[in-house]
């Protein structure tokens, strides 16, 4: 007798959280990036808003007394003026050092619930992963929306104006799709809008539990069922229903060579290529992944990706920790990006990736907070340099300016937003202001503001965040989420079961 199919589940009961992109933008008054026909770079028009920056990171140096004009229809900078010694009438004053908004290139929002819990005892990446699976199993569209909204608000308080969400929790715990197949992804899009930041949703193909010689790889384990669409073609069909909106862009991700069988890598790469979308991939984070790939395919994960058309200028490898000389050459010559996540890589005892060698080879650098052991892109920038010092026993691998570039323009480019990450006419008016009068930042000359930001400041020193010209964080307070610590505490408590 044929058993009846179970009912297809919907989102958790309660107030509906999932909205269309238009509703999201309207409800949250989300910041807007320019449409294709928006103001062209270099074209000036009368501003709707004016900000006066006490000090600005402008044209690769600290410039005192800068005003910028912003249009509210597309959130772009229409003019930049230097040498303005006092705030003009009606201007919003940003005291401190103002930088382009920070980009968090690699995030798993639900990992924020693991903070401190996974610091008890010892273990490895693989034992940490078991804790992560437990939290992933409890997520619903509503609970994920609540947690992500709080996490993205925490990011805004840390000066982050755009996040790359590496999203693979797609279905119900037993793998059954929701009635609305992208309920989880759209919960994240809504959460970013309500927290006021931009998102690139990197919808992730996660199809198998490991590398085997059998076609299709090893089937997903029980706790991985909700990650998998079964095949890359089924993943592409579901992901194609997601659409760009004013504050959200849709990209793709290959979870890893462990999780996407070799014969299906090209399908994911082609999907991203047809759309001109960013494509990200966890790459050589663990030596065990390299060993398994060599055993099954007779080549490194980097070579496997290259052979299947995954590498390229729109692709970013995340971690890129355990690489051979040939791997580094392949990534550099193809201009594949590298996203380093030093606070997670050290937290999980993964190792120190060869970021300096990768950049010299031609791989652009960006930064991410990944598992959110901390959310602080300034710390990620500092850690990349300091980790390299520990390995090489030599100082000064990057200038403060180079590290700021990775934290801003480099990250935004990796997320498919080359129009962000700069203070110049035509760029998105996304800004972060670092206080220069706290116990960490007081004392240095203002002209050393870049060095102060990278090597002394922290997320706690962020005074203002502006997204699309909108003053999102004012004097350290979030204007849309009034009590971010409470929102974090309540949403995490709901997942403890």
End-to-end Cα spacing for the chain:
37
For the question of residue 319 being annotated catalytic, the response is yes
The H or E element spanning position 402 is helix 400-407
- Quote the tokens at residue 56: 């600005």
CA-closest candidate to residue 125, choices 470, 370, 419, 333: 370
Give DSSP secondary structure letters for 425-485.
TTSB--EEEE-SSSTTTSSS-GGGHHHHHHHT--GGGEEEEEETTEEEEETTEESSSS-HH
- Quote the tokens at residue 363: 């791989």
E strands of 209-308, at which residues?
A: 248-254, 279-283
Beta bridge partners of 478: 473
Tell me whether residue 390 is exposed, middle or buried, using C-beta atoms within 10 angstroms of its C-beta: 0 to 12, 13 to 18, 19 or more: exposed
For the question of residue 174 being annotated catalytic, the response is no
Contacts of 21 (CB under 8 A, 6+ apart): 189, 243, 244, 245, 246, 248
Instruction: Please give the distance of CA 381 from its chain centroid, rounded to a whole number.
Output: 14
> Which letter does DSSP use for residue 345 in this model?
H
Give DSSP secondary structure letters for 145-159.
HHHHHHHHHHHHHTT
Distance CA 231, CA 146 (A): 30
Tell me whether residue 267 is exposed, middle or buried, using C-beta atoms within 10 angstroms of its C-beta: 0 to 12, 13 to 18, 19 or more: middle
Distance CA 150, CA 266 (A): 36
Between the alpha carbon of residue 392 and those of residues 319, 331, 365, 386, the distances in Å are 19, 22, 19, 10
From the candidates 74, 203, 347, 370, which is the catalytic residue? 370
- Quote the tokens at residue 183: 């309920």
Distance CA 423, CA 418 (A): 12
From the candidates 108, 308, 319, 405, which is the catalytic residue? 319
Distance CA 423, CA 82 (A): 12
3-state DSSP of 307-333 = HCCCCCCCEEEEECCCCCHHHHHHHHH
Q: Strand, helix or coil at 276?
A: coil
- Which residue numbers are catalytic? 319, 370
């Amino acid at each position: 007798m044929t058993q009846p199919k179970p009912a297809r589940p919907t989102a958790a009961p309660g107030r509906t959280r999932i909205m269309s992109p238009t509703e999201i933008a309207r409800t949250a008054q989300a910041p807007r990036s320019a449409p294709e026909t928006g103001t062209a770079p270099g074209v000036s028009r009368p501003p709707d808003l004016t900000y006066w920056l006490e000090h600005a990171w402008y044209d690769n140096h600290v410039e005192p007394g800068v005003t910028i004009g912003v249009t509210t229809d597309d959130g772009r900078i229409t003019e930049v003026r230097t040498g303005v010694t006092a705030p003009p009438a009606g201007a919003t004053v940003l005291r401190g050092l103002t930088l382009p908004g920070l980009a968090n290139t690699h995030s798993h929002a639900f990992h924020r619930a693991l903070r401190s819990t996974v610091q008890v005892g010892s273990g490895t990446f693989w034992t940490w992963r078991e804790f992560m699976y437990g939290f992933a199993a409890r997520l619903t569209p509503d609970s994920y929306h609540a947690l992500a909204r709080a996490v993205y608000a925490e990011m805004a308080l840390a000066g982050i104006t755009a996040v790359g969400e590496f999203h693979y929790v797609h279905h119900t715990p037993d793998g059954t799709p929701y009635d609305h197949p992208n309920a989880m992804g759209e919960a994240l899009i809504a959460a970013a809008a309500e927290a006021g930041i931009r998102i690139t949703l990197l919808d992730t193909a996660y199809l198998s539990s490991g590398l085997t010689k059998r076609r299709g790889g090893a089937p997903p384990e029980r706790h991985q069922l909700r990650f998998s669409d079964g095949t890359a073609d089924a993943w592409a069909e579901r992901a194609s229903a997601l659409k760009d909106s004013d504050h959200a862009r849709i990209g793709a991700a290959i979870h890893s060579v462990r999780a996407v069988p070799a014969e299906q890598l090209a399908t994911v790469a082609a999907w991203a290529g047809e759309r001109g979308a960013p494509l990200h991939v966890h790459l050589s984070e663990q030596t065990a992944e390299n060993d398994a790939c060599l055993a099954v395919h007779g080549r490194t994960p980097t070579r496997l990706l290259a052979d299947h058309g995954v590498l390229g200028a729109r692709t970013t490898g995340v971690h890129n920790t355990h690489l051979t000389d040939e791997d580094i050459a392949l990534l550099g010559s193809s201009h594949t990006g590298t996203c380093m996540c030093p606070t997670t890589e050290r937290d999980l005892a993964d190792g120190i990736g060869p970021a300096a060698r990768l950049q010299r080879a031609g791989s652009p650098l960006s930064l991410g907070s990944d598992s959110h052991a901390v959310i602080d892109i300034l710390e990620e920038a500092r850690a990349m340099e300091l980790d390299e010092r520990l390995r090489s026993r030599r100082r000064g691998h990057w200038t403060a300016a180079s590290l700021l570039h990775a934290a801003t323009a480099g990250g935004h480019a990796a997320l498919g937003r080359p129009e962000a990450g700069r203070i110049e006419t035509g760029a998105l008016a996304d800004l972060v202001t670092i206080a220069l009068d706290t116990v960490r930042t007081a004392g240095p000359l203002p002209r050393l503001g870049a060095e102060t930001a990278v090597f002394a400041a922290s997320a706690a020193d962020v005074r203002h965040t502006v997204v699309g010209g909108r003053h999102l964080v004012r004097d350290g307070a979030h204007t849309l989420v009034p009590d971010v610590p409470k929102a974090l505490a309540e949403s995490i408590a709901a997942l403890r079961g």
